[in-house]
Amino acid sequence: MAIRIPPTLGLTRPGPSNAPKITFAAKDTDVLEWNGDLLAVGVTEKDVVKDDNNNFTNPLLQKLDALLGGLLAEASSEEDFSGKSGQAIVLRVSGLSFKRVGLFALGQSASRAAAFVGLGEAIAAAAQASRAVSVAFALAFSADLSDEWKPAIASSIAIGIVNGIFDDNRYRSNPKATVLQSVDVLGLGSGAAMIKRLKYAQYVSSGIVFVRELVNSPANILTPGQLAAEVLNLTRNYSDVLSARIFDEEEIIEMKMGSYLGVTAAATANPPKFIHLCYKPPSGSVSAKLGLVGKGITFDSGGYNLKAGSGSNIETMKNDMGGAGAIFGAAKAIAEIKPLGVEIHFVVAACENMISATGMRPSDIVTAANGKTIEVNNTDAEGRLCLADALIYTCKQGVDKIIDLATLTGACITALGPSVAAAFTPSEELANEVLSAAERSGEKLWRLPIEESYWESMKSGVADMVNTGPSQGGAITAALFLKQFVDENIQWMHLDIAGPVWNTKKSVGTGFGVSTLVEWVLKNAS
């Protein structure tokens, strides 16, 4: 008799989303006259230089320190605050229009979006620690910035604040609500460009929070079916631009997706769901068609190549759908922004990789939808098997360019560490587009080579290919495998996000990928 698995294993029910609801506003208010809980000032090492009398030479810090009776200069000297990246000093003051003032350091210079996102996260940590309801941020060096750059900087800081303040409480018995309600931007202008960019930051942040909630959800809650349900809910909320089709197992068989079915069809009580979400602009013609493909393994046991031992990280394998989460988070943000001239196909072959008497075994041969055969020499390299059929399907949608995102290899983490994703593409044009988008978003990508000579190690004695190569260059051979399932006339990039998708210290998802994807889509829009 088959064992019935309850749909709510453990009787767990998630609480409501506690996504931050923060109002961002750009104001022309003088920094010294702002009224609220925490005044945060971003500084570089140059800004905190003092003269022989221990007075700041920066004009804004001079005025602020004079208002505080020299307290800021004194405290920065006592705490050896030199403006090095990551340093912060926060003081409780009295008798002023603000309750606390803080200096937050950016290092020698501030020229990259990543630094400003980090500044926002640091401000959020201080706001959370002091239970601040209202925050304002200013930059000591704002006079040195071009008007064109200021809105983008404010946007990066705003995204960092939301990401830093968000605390996923849905599975706690005694959740604490986020108290921060408003953030004012001071000294960076308040025109239409700034207002538009702050709205953009809120849209992107909402997508990031959505991804983090998906990735944080345990596998007994976020099954393939529930992931599909979340996507359908998106389409209900944004029915003017989003539509979706969910394919069940019988339809997947009809589409001959044997590579995908080999992973999931016989080894789990939770059936697979092939998800196709489509964005179409609210008006006008379409000049670019894009494909975004995400790895959607809602739990990865490794199959018969079971993840075992203290270094296997099986306890974090709910995050193996981080690629799927990233593209759906981007979809949410894009549905808010509503770019024109671009059609986007978001595709995920969602499933679990489990073990059963009828599950996929090492040495089994599976056949992808394009007829190519794959000898499975490792059941723990299952994500690429699902992506293979998802890429074939996406190519058939008439797209010009495809990016796939996947928590694909430990080899990538070994090569680039926990904070940097790897980018693989044979297209110089697409490489420039996506790496530039990452630079604007503050997310870290590094391009690695597609070394074609390594493909020899992926050939099978009995099938067209095996699904894993030797231990050396594992991230490269994984990219080479995926390349076999993409039409040559379509520009394609593979992003291995195994490292930055997960915050190991806090054991939560990061929402990595959303910002870059949205920036890339907008550059392809009309």
Catalytic residues: 307, 384
Concatenating the DSSP letter of every residue in 85-141 gives: TT-EEEEE--SSSEEEEEEEE--S---SHHHHHHHHHHHHHHHHHHT-SEEEEEETT
Q: State the DSSP code for 25.
A: E
In one-letter notation, the amino acid at residue 107 is G
**Parallel/antiparallel/unpaired status of strands 502-503 and 508-509:** antiparallel
CB 499 within 8 A of CB 421: yes
Tell me how far CA of residue 58 lies from CA of 3, 96, 105, 119, in angstroms.
70, 21, 14, 19
In angstroms, how far is the first alpha carbon of the chain from the final one?
A: 58
Please check whether residue 266 is in contact with residue 304, taking contact to mean a CB–CB distance below 8 angstroms.
no
Containing H/E element for 186?
strand 182-186
Tell how far CA 308 is from the center of its chain.
28
Written as one string, the DSSP assignment of 34-63 is: --EEEEEEEE-TTTT-B-TTS-B-SHHHHH
CA distance 166 to 511: 11
The total of other beta-carbon atoms located within 10 Å of residue 6's CB is: 9
In terms of Cβ atoms closer than 10 Å to its own Cβ (0-12, 13-18, 19+), residue 464 is middle
DSSP secondary structure, 338-360, as one string: --SSEEEEEEEEEEEE---TTS-
The string of DSSP codes covering 242-279 is: EEEEEE-HHHHHHTT-HHHHHHHTTT-SS--EEEEEEE
Residues 6+ apart with CB under 8 A from 50: 56, 57, 73, 77
Tokens describing residue 461: 């004695």
Could you say which DSSP state residue 5 is in?
P
Contact present, 509 and 323 (Cβ < 8 Å): no
**E strand or H helix at 292, and its extent?**
strand 288-300
Q: Is the dihedral of CA 403, 409, 412, 418 positive or negative?
A: positive
Burial 384-415 (b: 16+ CB within 10 A, else e): bbbbbbbbbbbbebebebbbbbbbbbbbbbeb
Q: In what order do the strands lie in the sheet with 36-43?
A: 23-27, 182-186, 134-139, 36-43, 98-105, 88-92
Q: Is 209 within 8 Å of 201 (Cβ atoms)?
A: no
